[in-house]
Structure 1
Amino acid sequence: MTTLRTAAQDPFDLPLDRMFTYRLHMLGKLSDPSSQHAYVQETGLSLSDGRCLITIGSFEPLSVKDLARRSNLNKSQASRAAQALVEQGLVSKTESVADGRGVVLALTPAGRERCAAAHALVLRRNREIFGCLSTAELEQFSALLDRLIAHNVRA
């Protein structure tokens, strides 16, 4: 087992429970069960369907490939979620003019209403999860996340 080292030696060489990826994963695991329950109770959707609905509403029109990328799902998960949302009448699926084999996803009027409820839920969950941070800390954390994402997109 690795011992805690000073930042001058190697700031990444930490015990497992202090590693950044471990703690990010832990935060997700701590917040997902509450979020899943809230999605079902407040929107009638699963967590992944709710996230896909919000993603479509935020970036429509989207292909299934774009939905997968923007919602951090693999293409088969995004396809299943999109189909479930279509079957519930929340999303429309039309043929893509640009790609005859592809489809374009967009919210229906009912989907817009459900998306607004899901957005309110996400806003509340963000306040619950990150509410211990000050406005300045939230801005700094957001900037650091943007930087980490940009760094890893190129990696």
Structure 2
Amino acid sequence: MKVIYPGSFDPITIGHLDIIERLSKMFDEVVVAILINEVKHTLFSIEERIELIKQDIKEYKLDNVVVKEFDGLLVDFAKKENSKTIVRGIRAVTDYEYEINIAQFNSSLYPGFETIFLLSDPRYSFISSSGVRELASFGGDVSKFVSKNVKKAIEDKVDIGGR
């Protein structure tokens, strides 16, 4: 069975990686789907995010995980991928409240489309990409929240490597 794990992953965090690793043990194929959103200002380009995730997947030896990009509706991407299942990580009740609405909307657009909510490991439940970006913008140490290759990419991108 193929599952899709969608998001912006700007940047991918150890919380994301934990979910991906757990999914790789539950499903035959995991598609990490990066949403292309030209309106949203991102730290990393779509190409950079794809490469960073691919590096992490290789390091974690997750052979059944692939990275793809998509724009438009998630349900249209899921149809192209021949998958009716996505997974969303839930860190807190606020995530659930936000995600349930989207899940119900998607289900109405694509009959049989299922959203599985996977609880974050409590060790990572406070980590968010936006928090990592903000910490990095002030020169903070992000090494507890991202992989080594993502840390280096962030340092290079926001020019904090020499501080």
Instruction: Compute the TM-score of the two structures, normalised by the length of structure 2.
Output: 0.29
Higher strand share: 2
Instruction: Compute the TM-score of the two structures, normalised by the length of structure 1.
Output: 0.30
Greater RCO (CA < 8 Å, at least 6 residues apart): 2
Larger radius of gyration: 1
Higher helix share: 1
